[in-house]
Structure 1
Amino acid sequence: MAGILEGKKILITGVLMESSIAFHAAKIAQEQGAEIILTAFPRPTLTERIAKKLPKPENVKVIELDVSNQEHLDRLEGLVREQLGDRLDGVVHSIGFAPQDALGGNFLNTPFESVATAMHISAFSLKSLTMALKPLMTEGGSVVGLTFDAQFAWPQYDWMGPTKAALEATSRYMARDLGKDEIRCNLVSAGPLGSMAAKSIPGFDELAKVWDSRSPLTWNLTDQEPAAKAIVALLSDWFPKTTGEIIHVDGGLHAIGA
């Protein structure tokens, strides 16, 4: 039986470690029949090593991509074309960064320069990455990003919270403007997972404890597969008329008050 991504060509960002949600999305995408290409920054060699652990490592190319560097974005289409041909069916945006002074209880003292960096890399890049690749999405396609529920103010998360709110709004506007090209844009809102990105947040353990007491479904900090499966499902043709949506893969905590 063919996989749900059989014949599709997908670009995936954010494969930093085996604990990355993006790594598990890449793994499942390959298992479901996709041909993938990865981007990495600032250490492409690290991603190249991790890519060797994918089910089909022999054909996986890694492109260096700093989403805040316009030259990198301008050359991206050509590099992807060289590897995958003239069509791209999907993009996974798993990119987030905030300077240390924008995290860890420093919200009221963070300078704008640090906020601007966080917004540029974590939110605006959803638009800039997609537009860099849009010429290849000639038959429509699916853009899937990762968020952390921006409805709430989380302890220690500080300016990453507003950047995720901006990311969520950006996804809705992209859904509006790209629908005419049959390009869908959705987000997966995952609960806390022990990824490299999560561990860089001061007080992450305190944040994670919330899930132990409030999540209706048992939450496992080391199980990236549920979020990765949601990403792959949204990349597939099984959500043909879903766009501007946020799919919560958080054990149901988003629905619970106290």
Structure 2
Amino acid sequence: MVGLLKGKRILVTGVLTDASIAFHVARVAQAEGAQIVLTGHGRMSLVRRVAQRLPQPPPVLELDVTSEEQLGTLADRLGEHVDGLDGILHSIAFAPQSALGGNFLHTPWEDVATTLQVSTYSLKALTAAVLPMMGPGGAVVGLDYDASRAWPGYDWMGVAKAGLESCARYLARDLGPRGVRVNLVAAGPLRTTAARSVPGFDTQEWDRTAPLGWQGDDMDPTARACVALLSDWLPATTGEIVHVDGGFHAVGA
């Protein structure tokens, strides 16, 4: 995949540590020739330090996807670093602890609403915020986790991921006439900081069952799939969910 993203301008959200999937997407994208801009939220000093670990340290913008003000200024702030945008990586999800860990029947609406706004609605909100910068051939890629079944402890985040999958299909429908593709990558369980916050997180079932095997510490296959979807090599693929899970989704557990 030499130069797969040569000349592409890519916005990567959700980098918190160098153990995040988004960090490795940014790393592989740079290796394939992309110009990267990162966004972060909350611990911005940490995000900026982590950005320095990339081969070419990129600019970092603050973005709270629940803030209409920050979304409204995002295109202008991006314009200070790039003159357009060819791709977006949506790697944003959050659920309060009450929405996880077997508390499904008792989670208050306020916490459900937060989960859905940050983890589902933000795909549309982020895309709409930067759409004026994107032209035909643009690509939006989101990070998913198989929402076809109920996972232990995942609870309202699982509902949010099901909504994310539907949101991606509707975005694909509405952005297709503009030449913009929208796809998701459903990775198997990876040992990220976010995953460790999910009660009951475990990769052993994947290790035993996935036909190709599964390594929860290896972010590279997922990052490569994201970069492939951000590239021009899949020009007629949209509304798709690409599973990067060693084949686990295709076989009975």
TM-score (normalised: structure 1): 0.96
Q: Aligned partners of 1:66, 1:152: CA distance in 2, in Å?
A: 29
Residue equivalent to 2:42: 42
Is the aligned partner of 1:66 residue 2:61? no
Name structure 2 gaps, 5 residues minimum: none
Residue number among 155, 175, 179 corresponding to 1:178 in the alignment: 175
Give a deviation string over 1:108-155, Cα, whole Å, max 9, x none. 110111111000000000000000000000344000000000001000
Give a deviation string over 1:137-177, Cα, whole Å, max 9, x none. 03440000000000010001111000000000000000000
Matches within 5 A, 1:171-210: 171-205=168-202, 208-210=203-205
Matches within 5 A, 1:118-137: 118-137=115-134
Identity of matched residues, %: 57
Residue equivalent to 1:23: 23
Give, in angstroms, the shift of residue 103 of structure 1: 0.2
Are the equivalent residues in 1 in contact too, given 2:186–2:241 (CA < 8 A)?
yes
Q: Aligned partners of 1:146, 1:171: CA distance in 2, in Å?
A: 11
Residue equivalent to 1:83: 81
Amino acid at match of 2:175: L
Name structure 1 gaps, 5 residues minimum: none
DSSP-derived class of the 1:204 partner = coil
Give a deviation string over 1:13-49, Cα, whole Å, max 9, x none. 0111111110000001001000010000111211111
Give, in angstroms, the shift of residue 53 of structure 1: 0.8
Residue number among 219, 224, 229 corresponding to 2:219 in the alignment: 224
Aligned CA RMSD, in angstroms, stands at 1.0
Query: Hey, which bits of structure 1, 4+ residues long, moved more than 6 A?
Result: none
Residue equivalent to 2:244: 249
Is the aligned partner of 1:169 residue 2:166? yes
Q: Aligned partners of 2:139, 2:248: CA distance in 1, in Å?
A: 26
